[in-house]
Structure 1
């Protein structure tokens, strides 16, 4: 099977696939997300509707999805969503030059195939087109060396560490704060 990667902005029609992939990430890697699995279930898929509507995409609020497409078939037909990432711009007047990477996750079956790098490259390309945006920030679990190395390879630099950033079932996890200037 000859497959390629398609990255595009997610919209309302992607809601269920996005939510299912997010739930999988929250359940299997609770130390990597601020939101918990049970909290996400309680809020439901509708919590993502505003981002999926894309009304603020040009201003720097969007979700991107990576799809494994079979090159022998129409790329848009039944391609599974295998990775996601979002950008969320600060709404405060004095901080609108900053945005945050949110919800980065690649499905286990796609790990190690360049999906995360492709998603982040697409995010950075789009972010570079957003007027007034100068800085992209992210938070990564301090123990997630693979993710940290990926971010560093794309120009993100660590500027701090939040001690005990997340409490997952009584186990505390530190988080590295990283930024990349446009």
Structure 2
């Protein structure tokens, strides 16, 4: 896949079903990589993402990005930014929902999504820090985040319980 041909754009209301289907794939294939379970996502339905899909919220720091091989192809990767809402924390946002479909893995899709997210985040008034949580054993994701300037500042022991198996999570941040 040629990264120059890769299309990364903000997702809107019309992308809801495609986004939800790709998210469900990620939740099912990699439950240790998401705070939400597949069952919880199904129960809440696609409408749970409506607020993040509102184009008008992007300037405030809430948006979802999608990656495509071209405008005519299906969604192959997603990532979101969600800004903290409390006054004392509005300088921070969380990177959420990062997922690249297995058929597109290892082709620079994740890096392209993150580069676009960071470029957009740099233009958000008052935003100074992006935080994320990544499973401690996910070395590929952690390496990608580190290559883009994220640094580990802590570890949450037993952050996720998946069928009785506990997974630690690294807390990472990047200052703008």
Q: TM-score range by the shorter chain?
A: over 0.9
Partners in 2 of 1:2 and 1:136 — Cα distance?
28
Deviates more, 1:144-153 or 1:47-56: 47-56
The correspondence for 1:150, drawn from 127, 144, 161, is: 144
- Alignment match, 2:87: 93
- SS at 2:50 equivalent: helix
Superposed CA offset, 1:111-161 (max 9, x none): 000000000000000000000000000000000000000000000000000
Separation (CA, whole Å) in 1 of partners of 2:67 and 2:167: 28
1:63 counterpart SS class:
strand
Supply the distance in 2 between the matched residues of 1:24 and 1:169 (Cα, whole angstroms).
18
Q: Does 1:140 align with 2:108?
A: no
Matches within 5 A, 1:11-160: 11-69=12-70, 76-77=71-72, 79-160=73-154
Q: How many residues align?
A: 175
User: What's the CA shift for 1:54?
Assistant: 2.2
**CA distance in 1 between partners of 2:156 and 2:113 (Å):** 25
Residue 2 of structure 1, CA deviation: 7.8
Name stretches of at least 5 consecutive residues in structure 2 with no aligned partner. Answer: none
Q: 1 CA distance for matches of 2:20 and 2:55?
A: 16
For the residue of structure 1 that corresponds to 2:56, the secondary structure is coil
Structure 2 distance, partners of 1:61, 1:174, is 27
TM-score normalized by structure 2? 0.97
- Which portions of structure 1, spanning 4 or more consecutive aligned residues, are displaced by more than 2 angstroms? 1-4
The separation in 2 between residues aligned to 1:122 and 1:8, in whole angstroms, is 8
CA distance in 2, matches of 1:91, 1:2: 38
Residue aligned with 1:166, SS: strand
Helix, strand or coil for the counterpart of 2:149? coil
**RMSD of aligned Cα (Å):** 1.2
